[in-house]
Structure 1
Amino acid sequence: MKKILVIGIKGMAGHVIFNKFKDEYGFAAYGIARNIEPSENTFNLDVNNTDVLGQIITEHKFDVIVNCIGILNKDAEDNPDKAIWFNSYFPHYLEKVTKNTGTKVIHISTDCVFSGNKGNYTEEDFKDGVGFYAQSKALGEIVNDKDLTIRTSIIGPELNENGIGLFHWFMSQPDDSQLKGYSQAFWSGITTIELAKVVKWAIEENVVGLKQIAPHHKINKFDLLQLFNEIFRENKLTIIEDDHYKVDKSLLSIVTKYTYNVPEYREMLIEMKEWIKSKKIYKYEI
């Protein structure tokens, strides 16, 4: 049985990936996070303690390590030292500590490495994102012939009641709310449930280097919120179109050696709804 270590199992991506591999994918799944109850397969650890982390990695000889931690948006701008350590240095630490071993590192990156000025970004486009979050994530991407950086954008349920993701924000709004939806803000991301499938595919196909994952068509945030409203809230909210904010961070992949077909947005969101309803770990009312 293959062994996988997921770093950041309390986060939006990490908790889904960990549970998918533990319960569905037939892996021996291990996880790391801060302030959790340790168990046979989970470690209560701040990864700043690289001495202990290095011991865990060396002793367990994992087949795969998935790095899901990062300092996000405003936190990165307010704490550039933390952003550089977690977003830039730490992925390269994992790359270094597993070099010349049988352990594959899969690092999750973001569409925010791009400014959003043009859209349809490929793996060959210059990373022109502005700010500590964008630039620290750009520096953290690892590209070699053993490991993999998955560059994408994600939405999904969160364990943290103070989460800052778009879906969590939407689900926190009361019925009858009126929300702005930006019709000129384009996105081409996936759900965290789909991301777990991507990680499994990348392991099975031994995908290496840099691979962008996105649906075939981008969607604007107005239409995305309309889908949220229909699928998760029975259209109880009102989404008002706003065309003043313009940005396009949509992704395209030109790495033809590896092909992953992402489902349509509606299909991914319906699957995400079923995932949330089947778990007892969320506080959303669906």
Structure 2
Amino acid sequence: MILITGEALVDVVRRPDGTSSAHAGGSPANVAVGLGRLGLPVQLAATLADDEHGHLIRRHLASAGVELLDTLATPDRTASAVATLDGSGAASYDFDITWAPGRIVPTEPPQIVHTGSIASVLEPGADDVEDLVRRQAPTAVVTFDPNIRPSLVPDPARARQRVATLVQLADVVKVSDEDLAWLEPDLQVDDVAQRWLAAGPAAVVVTLGPQGSRTYTASGSLAVPTAAENVVDTVGAGDAFMSGLIGALVQEDLTGPSGSAELRAADLALWQRVSTVAARSAGIVVGRAGSQPPWREELFGPDD
């Protein structure tokens, strides 16, 4: 089982003509849906209220076969991110999110634990996330994507320390070059990736937008080009890259108690394979509107 921990929220778009639309989102929830669409057993530890937005998210998760961990604290209202568009199409954002799940206890021992984004740095729940990762790290492969939202970070120094701690605990870190520019503004991407790699992970995978990605390991680094052929929008691209990367680790049987050691012994050919799958997953998403991660047959083919 794969355990994803972090926020699920509703993205609401308000247009100048008074119309609006809402759809389920949140980076960890998007990753969970991506893995569910790959046919993998996945549980999401997120906090949802018993309200309209919560029901929308539950339906979205269920459509991909994602199980919602229902033992967490229930918030007064489901988190949301409201984007208000002006006449030129520019958006201003208003987040309404709290994160206080309490102690996170999976219903069965996970083989992979993934976390990141708002939930990994937002108090008080960030403590619960770190506690979970520390408890599960000895027996599960841990993946982490900081996916920083600077407007929701009241204490940048504290957030950077949170990220540094989770990097040390993780087996695989995926991070965008934009996040690195905020987290380590005085350093080059290569320098940060190498420093993070030395802190503990088996691999640090840096996504570079249209320039593809670069994966750093103890055996060296390698570049993987973007797989995007036709870009409609980039919504959910990073999350699809992450779910593709985790899905590829499962395909390679790099999970569970032995997974961490096996990842550290893996050669560059292995990382080339898994990074290529991740790029293909992101390439599929940017070719269609919104965060719509690929189904298993789209990513791995009908016979895999």
TM-score normalized by structure 1? 0.44
Q: TM-score, normalised by structure 2?
A: 0.41
